[in-house]
């Protein structure tokens, strides 16, 4: 009779735990639904509406196989994590359920444990990631290290008690050994995978130098000490640049990350490498890069690393041996906008998350959990010690919307009323720390014992600052305003939107040569005109100098030219003879406002894109070709810029040294505009095959000359 009663009790407990598991899982799923709806109330736009605008998701796009698989995989992983959490909570209830038979008491125990687990998750989330929208406890004692550790110990002790209770009671020593073994098997791998691996070492220095291209998204030269900025804003970068050879006046081929990097790695202007916009259709882009094939033939390991992939889809198909960074795909826009859940956030920075959450791991676009030093580790640990490395790495903390996992405090002494510019300056400080750590790790690992480093930015950033504005040389001319939107717009927010905004196109470019961890190159500022497309030919030239074998290849054809290696090195073209070309991306009306409305910007550009079968968002080929006609185009010679605007009969001449602009038809100075115009028309002649630009017609220069003569007679 006693055996029958025990079996009945055991059966009752089994049913109770099963019911508790499903009840727990249901509650956790309910909490997810509540959390998502709560976040929607806090956000000006819903997560899906933002994603919809960014990727132009329509019915046919939702049927994209790649997108569906990526979204379902994310949902599955989130569900599995919460199933695991529900199992832990249920198992923690087991010894207490065995002790009490009253269902009301069991329910109370379950509720207490469920509540403690939820409080722990929310506390840990608020403590580690205070900018999370679900960081309810931020600023309270619960969001402190002591509270989080105390709750963790309490819940772990209860879990261990439940484990002990499941073991046979006859041999306590064996039980204790089993528990200790279980803890070791569980916690040691977590420590090993999350800790820093041992520092690699070189037995001998590689004969060929390591080559590092270190890019910083959106870094403006005028925010650095060599241009007179406050030295405390970026001390590590300023120190690095003080040891560098700085190319003082350098322009990006276009103020967009992908297009700029295509220019760097190909050595060609956009019109010659096929990358005219971000998210270019891959079939229209010239790849792989001949430079990478040359480096691979020389024994180099080639690596590309970037911590934000929404608009830069360079991958292994471009010729790299490996690519470090979050996964590329349209699902990024959706997942990063709904992923802000405590359990996901707490799991995101463990190495296993590169497989569990490929769109979120080391993804600066998911700024709530992005750890810049973790990204550094991922990049550095991928570099081999037994062969020379070519690494192209891009740091995106300075990219809009200028957010991080920590709150940025308001410093009234630096507040200028321009929110975006203030946040940008604060993010400069954060990327400065990241670069300092990266360089220190390179040196510590011996990777700077024989190395060439290029430090650069891909574009600048426009904030409508007073010091950025161009002034009309003609007092009768005016800039754009709300009452007269048809007049010339000489300033703009963002990057790649207006080539008259010099702060968008001018970039940082410096080089260093390292031996035994110390810079041995000449230092100072090199005058003249330079472009990011000069990097690829400079790498080839440096390799040629370091080798007894003369390198020659028919496909190593560059638009750029090797950078000088000293301040006084004579260049093939004088400052006025060399012409540098810069073009714009898509014109975006919504970005030229006092405060950027992200949904309006996205909605204005969304119709140009599609989601393909592999889940990637790309510009539609028809839009790609049509939008080329809407580009602004310019050429620089010395301190002059000649600008060709779409659908505008005027040519604009800019004196960048004095920040003044002229209508070319009214200009009567000695700027070499004829040579600049001929060069501009020749460079973009393939763009004008179907729709010739009036300024490139033979009669245009004659018309300009007649207008000037007419003006002189009237004077």
Supply the pLDDT for residue 299.
95
Cα 230 to Cα 538: distance, rounded to the nearest angstrom: 31
Task: Please indicate whether residue 52 or residue 164 has the higher confidence score (pLDDT).
Answer: 164
Mean pLDDT across 690-711: 70
Q: pLDDT (tens digit, 9 = 90+) per residue, 168-211?
A: 665 656 556 656 655 655 555 555 445 444 444 443 467 899 99
Mean pLDDT across 431-452: 97
Task: Please indicate whether residue 710 or residue 154 has the higher confidence score (pLDDT).
Answer: 154
Residues in CB range of 408: below 8 A, 6 or more apart: 423, 426
Supply the pLDDT for residue 703.
65
Banded pLDDT at 602 (limits 50, 70, 90):
low
- In eight-state DSSP terms, residue 488 is B
Asked if pLDDT for residue 45 goes beyond 80, the answer is no
Residue position matching structure tokens 């989601």: 611
Mean pLDDT across 589-606: 50
Q: Which residues of 340-355 are buried (b: 16+ CB within 10 A; e: fewer)?
A: bbbbbbbbbbebebee
**By mean pLDDT, which of 17-26, 379-388, 699-708 is the weakest?**
699-708
Banded pLDDT at 596 (limits 50, 70, 90):
very low
CA 644 vs CA 254, 629, 654: distances in Å:
15, 11, 11
Supply the pLDDT for residue 87.
93
Q: Treating both helix axes as pointing N-terminal to C-terminal, what angle do 257-266 and 535-545 enclose, rounded to 10 degrees?
A: 30
Asked if pLDDT for residue 75 goes beyond 90, the answer is yes
**By mean pLDDT, which of 26-30, 216-220, 351-355, 534-538 is the weakest?**
351-355
Q: pLDDT (tens digit, 9 = 90+) per residue, 625-638?
A: 999 999 999 999 99
Q: Is the pTM of this model over 0.85?
A: yes
- Using only C-alpha atoms, the chain has a radius of gyration, in whole angstroms, of 30
Mean pLDDT across 676-694: 90
Banded pLDDT at 54 (limits 50, 70, 90):
very low
Supply the pLDDT for residue 650.
86
Asked if pLDDT for residue 708 goes beyond 60, the answer is no
Mean pLDDT across 683-697: 86
Asked if pLDDT for residue 94 goes beyond 60, the answer is yes
Task: Please indicate whether residue 119 or residue 702 has the higher confidence score (pLDDT).
Answer: 119
Supply the pLDDT for residue 636.
98
Residues in CB range of 2: below 8 A, 6 or more apart: none
**By mean pLDDT, which of 110-119, 369-378, 552-561 is the weakest?**
552-561
**By mean pLDDT, which of 45-59, 236-250, 288-302, 451-465 is the weakest?**
45-59
Residue position matching structure tokens 């003044």: 660
- Looking at the chain, the whole-number percentage of residues with pLDDT higher than 70 is 80
Banded pLDDT at 42 (limits 50, 70, 90):
confident
Mean pLDDT across 224-237: 96
Task: Please indicate whether residue 474 or residue 656 has the higher confidence score (pLDDT).
Answer: 656
Supply the pLDDT for residue 184.
56
Which of 507, 464, 416, 432 is closest to 219 using CA atoms?
A: 507
Mean pLDDT across 555-568: 90
Q: What dihedral angle (degrees, nearest 10) is formed by the CA atoms of 579, 585, 586, 592?
A: -90
Which of 226, 370, 249, 253 is closest to 309 using CA atoms?
A: 370
Asked if pLDDT for residue 476 goes beyond 60, the answer is no
Mean pLDDT across 647-665: 91
Average pLDDT, the chain: 85
- Grouping H, G, I as helix, E, B as strand and the rest as coil, residue 280 is coil
Asked if pLDDT for residue 403 goes beyond 90, the answer is no
Q: Report whether 552 contacts 223 (CB < 8 A).
A: no
């Amino acid at each position: 009779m006693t055996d029958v009663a025990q079996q009945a009790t055991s059966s009752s407990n089994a049913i109770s735990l099963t019911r508790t598991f499903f009840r727990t899982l249901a509650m956790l799923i309910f909490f997810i639904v509540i959390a998502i709806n709560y976040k929607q109330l806090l956000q000006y736009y819903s997560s899906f509406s933002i994603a919809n605008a960014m990727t132009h998701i329509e019915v046919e796009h939702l049927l994209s196989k790649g997108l569906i698989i990526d979204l379902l995989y994310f949902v599955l992983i989130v569900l599995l994590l919460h199933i695991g959490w529900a199992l832990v909570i249920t198992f923690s209830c087991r010894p207490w359920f065995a002790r009490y038979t009253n269902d009301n008491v069991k329910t109370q125990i379950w509720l207490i444990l469920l509540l403690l687990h939820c409080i722990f998750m929310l506390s840990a989330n608020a403590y580690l990631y205070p900018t999370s929208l679900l960081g309810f406890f931020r600023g309270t004692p619960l969001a402190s290290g002591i509270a989080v550790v105390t709750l963790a110990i309490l819940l772990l002790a209860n879990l261990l008690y439940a484990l002990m209770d499941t073991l046979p009671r006859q041999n306590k020593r064996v039980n204790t050994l089993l528990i200790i073994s279980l803890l070791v098997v569980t916690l040691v791998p977590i420590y090993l995978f999350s800790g820093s691996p041992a520092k690699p070492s070189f037995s001998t220095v590689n004969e060929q130098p390591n080559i590092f291209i270190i890019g910083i998204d959106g870094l403006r030269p005028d925010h650095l000490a060599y241009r007179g900025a406050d030295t405390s804003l970026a001390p590590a970068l300023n120190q690095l640049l003080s040891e560098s050879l700085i190319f003082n006046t350098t322009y990006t081929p276009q103020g967009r990350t992908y297009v700029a990097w295509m220019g760097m790695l190909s050595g060609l202007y956009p019109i010659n490498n096929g990358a005219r916009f971000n998210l270019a259709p891959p079939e229209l882009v010239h790849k792989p890069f001949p430079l990478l094939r040359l480096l691979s033939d020389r024994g180099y390991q080639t690596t590309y690393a970037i911590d934000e992939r929404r608009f830069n889809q360079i991958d292994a198909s471009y010729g790299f041996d490996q690519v470090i960074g979050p996964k590329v795909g349209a699902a990024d826009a959706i997942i990063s906008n709904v992923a802000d859940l405590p359990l996901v956030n707490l799991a995101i920075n463990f190495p296993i998350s590169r497989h569990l959450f490929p769109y979120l791991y080391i993804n600066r676009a998911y700024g709530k959990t992005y750890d810049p030093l973790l990204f550094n580790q991922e990049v550095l640990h991928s570099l081999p010690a037994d062969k020379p490395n070519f690494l192209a790495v891009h740091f995106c903390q300075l990219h809009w919307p200028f957010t991080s996992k920590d709150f940025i405090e308001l410093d009234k002494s630096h507040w200028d009323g321009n929110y975006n510019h203030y946040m940008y300056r604060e993010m400069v400080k954060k990327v400065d720390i990241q670069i300092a750590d990266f360089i220190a790790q390179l040196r510590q690992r011996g990777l700077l014992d024989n190395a060439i480093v290029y430090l650069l930015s891909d574009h600048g950033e426009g904030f409508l600052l007073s010091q950025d504005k161009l002034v009309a040389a003609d007092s009768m001319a005016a800039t754009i305003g709300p009452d007269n939107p048809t007049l010339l717009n000489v300033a703009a927010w963002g990057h790649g939107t207006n080539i008259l905004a010099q702060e968008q196109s001018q970039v940082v470019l410096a080089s260093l040569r390292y031996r035994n961890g110390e810079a041995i190159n000449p230092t100072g500022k090199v005058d003249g005109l330079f472009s990011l497309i000069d990097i690829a030919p400079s790498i080839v030239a440096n390799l040629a100098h370091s080798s007894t074998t003369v390198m020659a290849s028919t496909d190593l054809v560059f638009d750029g030219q090797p950078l000088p290696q000293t301040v006084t090195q004579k260049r093939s073209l004088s400052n006025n003879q060399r012409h540098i070309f810069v073009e714009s991306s898509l014109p975006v009306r919504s970005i030229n406002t006092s405060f950027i409305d992200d949904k309006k910007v996205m909605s204005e550009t969304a119709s140009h894109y599609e989601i393909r079968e592999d889940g990637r968002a790309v510009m539609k080929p028809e839009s790609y070709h049509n939008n080329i006609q809407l580009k602004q185009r310019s050429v620089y010679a010395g301190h002059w810029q000649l600008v060709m605007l779409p659908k505008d009969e005027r040519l604009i001449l800019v004196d960048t040294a004095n920040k003044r602009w002229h209508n070319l038809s009214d200009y009567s100075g000695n700027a070499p505009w004829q040579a600049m115009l001929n060069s501009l028309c020749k460079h973009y002649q393939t763009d004008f095959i179907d729709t010739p630009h009036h300024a490139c017609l033979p009669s245009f220069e004659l018309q300009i000359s007649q207008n000037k003569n007419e003006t002189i007679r009237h004077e």
